[in-house]
Each structure stands twice: as C-alpha cells, then as structure tokens.
Structure 1
Amino acid sequence: MGAGAVGCYYGALLAQAGEDVTLIGRPALVQAVARQGLLLEKGGQTAAIALTATDSPAGVAGANVVIIAVKSGDSAEAARQIAPHLAPDATILSLQNGISNGETLAATLGRPVIPVVVYVATDMAGPGHVRHHGRGELVFAPGPRAEPAAARFRAAGIDAQVSPDAATALWTKFAINCCFNAVSALTRQPYGTIAAQPGALDTMRVVLDECCAVAKAEGIPLPDDLWHRIEAITHQMAGQFSSTAQDMMRGKPTEIDYLNGEIHRRAARHGIATPVNTALWALVKLAEKSA
C-alpha cells in the first residue's frame, strides 16, 4: 500500500523471487505496470517485472503480508482504507520514515503492526520505473509473525533481520533525518555543500543533542558514535538531497511533521526545550505554504 520508490523496489524483488505481489498506487503506476510491467533499474541493468498493480485499497484482500509504505501523514487514512479488506491473519509491516507510524497504524487497525527500519536509496524514474542506488537491508522489530515475514524477504535476496534493538535503529535513522532533512530542504542544497558551510554542522549538532535528550526521556538508547555517522554521511553522500528537499522541489507535501515536528511534540510532553528542531519544523511548514 503506497507503491512509491520503496514499495516498488521491495515489491519487485519479492515478485522476482516468485511471490504473488500486488502494488497499490496511483493510476499512472497502474497504467504503466499494465503496459510494460514494473521496470527495476539496478546494477546497470533494467528488468521488466511481471506483477499486479491497482489503485484500489481492496488490493490487499487475501494477502498474508501487507507492506505499508505511504507518507507518514497518510498512515491513518491508509489504515482506514485497507481495514475492511485485510485477512484476519495478515502480517502488517510499516516500511516508513519516522517513529510513530507503527503506533498510528496499529491504533487505527486495532491489530499489531511491525515497524521495519529501511536502509535503501531508491527513486522513481517515472511511473512504473524504480531505480536502485544502493543498500537495501531491513531491520524488523520483534512481533507476531515477524520472523516468518523476514524469512520471505531473505528468500528474495534481501538482507532482513528481526532485532530486539529495532527501536534504537528506528530512532537512529530518525535522528539522522532530523539533522539533514530540514536543512537540505530549506537551503535546497546537498549534504556536502551543507557541511562546507561554516555554522551548518554546528546547527545540526544541536539538532542531534535535542533528539538525544528526547530519546533518553523515552528510554531509547542511541549509539555513542551517532555524530560521527552523521559527519561521515556528508562525505559518503555529498551530492544527496534529503527526501524533504526533494518533496519541496517537486511541490509535494513533506513529512516534516513526523521528523523535527515529532521531536517538538514529544519534547513538550517531557518538558524538554528543543528550540532548533522547533524552528526547523516551523520554517519548513512556512516554506511549504509558498512552494
């Protein structure tokens, strides 16, 4: 459900491995897949993958594993749309950014949802054409039927593991996104350019410190070397624009409410001040109004 770059990539690999896959996405995707299959561009080669695509939430009917990959702001509505069609024993996986989607989906569906941390670089070259740029591993939170679901991904050649430390992994990725996404979106600059600007890394370091304070208040241990990982990303992915920046440049709604905005809301519950995260959240929201 929500067959964008992430959903299409993993759907393609599962279909290649013989799984019966249905993508639920926009009409342009449905039409492209009906015409040419799903194009998967990976490792310098492009393959046409035969699978089903529909724009109807009823496409989840009969599925024993359902992947939710919609934008964070669409989680509750997506859950409402698929709820009448879900099989009683379906395993629900959230392959989404942010830290609250699993809770939102579970509350709306009234059943367990397994958060999955996604480490992949993909984009859509056009309707029904997904490009893979790197990585692809998945970390599943423990939960009912998590291990059998992960095993099916592994059978498709995907590095998928169930980990008791999945919450830390989810928060780690979330904190990294809080550091990069808003700054890249507001400046429309890639990570390497941001790092070269005096004061930018200092600002990001304060963002991280605020995230760590909120994580500690919520009982989530973050890795000691997290800042070093962030510095490394500015070199390893120097030309990368954040997903928030890409959304703004395309005139699409961003997920900032579920990144720096999430830190603002959670911090308020704990009586913690997070002025830089709050400022970045507010500034992106204002920038969206003029986009």
Structure 2
Amino acid sequence: MKICIYGSGAMGSYIAAHLVRGAQSEVSVVARGGTLAAIQANGLRVITDEEEFTVPVRAVADPAELGVQDVVIITLKMHHVDEVLDQIRHLIGPDTAIIPPIAALPYYFLSGLTGPFRDQRLPRIDPTGRQRAVMPPEQVLGCPYWIGVHAHAPGVTRRDGKQAMMPLGELTGQRSDRVEKLSAILEAAGIEAPISDNIHGDVWVKFANSMCWNPVAILTMARLGEIGSSDGAGEVVHAMLEESDAIGRALGVEITVSPRDRLNRTLRGTHHKMSMLQDFERGRPNELELLHSSLLSITRLTGVKAPTLKTVYALARLRVAIAESK
C-alpha cells in the first residue's frame, strides 16, 4: 500500500516515522523548506518517554513526483488545506482513500450522518466547494488523531504522554477492505487504529475537544495540567463540552462518552500544550477563525444557543486580534 503523509509537522512526522518503521507500506512525505532539507539529510526522529528512533523516508516538495497513492493522510493545519488542493490532486485517483484534518469541523461531516441534516453542505467551512471537489466524501475516511505531539526540531517530534490512537471509519459506518488494511498497517506500526462503526461520533468528540480546549488555552496561556488544577477553568471547559454535545445531538450525532469523562481523559496529558497555543506563542497563523466558523455554522443550523462557547470565543478572538495588531 502506498501511503503519503501530506505535511511534515509534528503529527505528520510522528505518523510517517511509525509507518516507515512498521515496514508494511511504501511511505512518503510532502514537506517544504528547512524541514524538507532536514528530513532528506537526517530522516525522521521520534522521541517518547519509552524510546527514541530515527528512520529514513522519501521526502519531496512536489507531490507530482509521487503519483497516485492508495492512502493520503493530510496532517496540515486546516487553514492551509485550500492553499495546496491543486498539489494534492496529483496524489488522488478514483480509489484513493483520503484522511483530511479535523481541528475544526470537516467539510464532509454531514455526509452519511443519520439525522435531520444528512448530506447537507457546510458553506462556511468549504465556501468554494473546492475541498469537496478534490476530496470527495465517498473517498474520505474519518480519522481523529489522538496523539499529543510537538515539534522538537525540524524532522524531530516529541510525543507528550503515552496515548497514540487513530480511530478509522467509513462515513457510511460500514467496514471496508481499505479500512481493515490501513488499520492493520497502523497497528503493526505501533499506533492504535480501532475500526469504528460510529466515526461521526468519534470525529465529533475530537472536534469538540479542539473547539473547547484551544480558545481556553489561548486565553490562559496554560498547559492542560495548569487549566485542570486552576480554580474554575476546567469547569468552564466542561460547560463548553456540554454545549457542544447539545449541538451534536441536535445534528444527529451519537456521542457515547460523557463530557466529564472526556475532560478527565484530556487532563491526563498534564504537560501537553494545545497546538493552537503553540502556534499563538510563535506568532503563527492559527485555526481559531475556522473553529469560530464551525461554531457559527452548526449553531445556526441547529438553533442551539451555546452561550458559554460564544462568550469564550468572543474573548479569544479579541486576544488574537490584539496580538496580531502589534
């Protein structure tokens, strides 16, 4: 199986390195700039509490060099996806399985979802329809990344905590040959990849986690453990998670894990810093506006009020706007 990881940040590097070490597939990475040069010279290095390892991998700047793939895993930040759709086209054939990123609500989310809004489009999230055209929902596999990582240096990734899981599923909820093959390859590589028959629920939980934790991290400049141990900040996140689940249920999403359990699970990554906070501290573009657009789209669609979410986003957007104006 030919697998291309499009994006060489912490997440992409972690997944690619494990797939190479697993030796069950032909792996390539699309990268750029100094990161591309570092990977070509030194390979990919992963550091965890248990081990360190380095592997060589084919890394290119131009995906046209790679040709059509069996699987394309896109690990870019969501606000960069539109910029590279013309390049991604080179990797995608009619049978290519595609895993887009999920930090905000993905464009395909209502496809195959049982409920009152089944197969509707979310124009605020994919206003031009280009993502849907290049990455048709019928070729998409839902896959939230439950891996806390950060870039230690170009081509060097550090995992925070012990969890490394990528649940996989068809948007139809059915098992398929491609899901079973990819799950087996990821498992052999050391990444848990359970096959889900409720992938919309899994994607929703990941999206809600991102939607609730990231703006609080930006406002507080705190790691997860600091938020959890503070007087009240963790309860604000809990209230946001409850509101997000009310929206999800109105959409028809089956949510099987309670907000309290998810809160406690996330807080196990005591030293982890949310990716949006990492970007904010470095002055990089972040996904706050995409998350806000997602929030507006689904509250207007469902009629759910979500006052805590909207209040926190008003404050976080102001903080980002002031920082960007300096």
TM-score calculated relative to the size of structure 1: 0.89
Structure 2 portions without partners, runs of 5+: 1-5, 110-125
Is 1:270 equivalent to 2:302 in the alignment? yes
2:164 to 105, 130, 136: 136
2 CA distance for matches of 1:162 and 1:229? 20
Is 1:89 equivalent to 2:117 in the alignment? no
Distance 1:58 1:210, change over 3 A: same
Distance 1:34 1:150, change over 3 A: same
* Per-residue Cα deviation, 1:199-239 (whole angstroms, up to 9, x for no partner): 323422321222011101100122353223304533x2333
SS of corresponding position for 2:226: helix
Structure 1 portions without partners, runs of 5+: none
Is 1:121 equivalent to 2:110 in the alignment? no
The one-letter code matched in structure 2 to 1:191 is L
Is 1:7 equivalent to 2:12 in the alignment? yes
1 CA distance for matches of 2:319 and 2:287? 13
2 CA distance for matches of 1:233 and 1:23? 29
* Per-residue Cα deviation, 1:231-273 (whole angstroms, up to 9, x for no partner): 4533x23333222211111111222234354223210122221
Distance 1:62 1:201, change over 3 A: closer
Aligned residues between the structures: 290
SS of corresponding position for 1:121: strand
* Per-residue Cα deviation, 1:25-72 (whole angstroms, up to 9, x for no partner): 221111001211112223454322111111223254132211111111
Map 1:14-25; keep pairs closer than 5 Å: 14-18=19-23, 19-25=25-31
Q: State the identity as a percent.
A: 24
Q: Which residue of 1 aligns with 2:272?
A: 240
Kept after mapping to 1: 8 A contact 2:239/2:308? yes
Distance 1:6 1:232, change over 3 A: closer
Deviates more, 1:271-280 or 1:38-47: 38-47
Higher relative contact order, chain-length normalized (CA < 8 Å, sep 6+)? 2
Shift of 1:2: 1.5
Map 1:45-60; keep pairs closer than 5 Å: 45-60=51-66
Structure with the larger helix share: 1
Map 1:151-190; keep pairs closer than 5 Å: 151-190=184-223
Kept after mapping to 1: 8 A contact 2:82/2:131? no
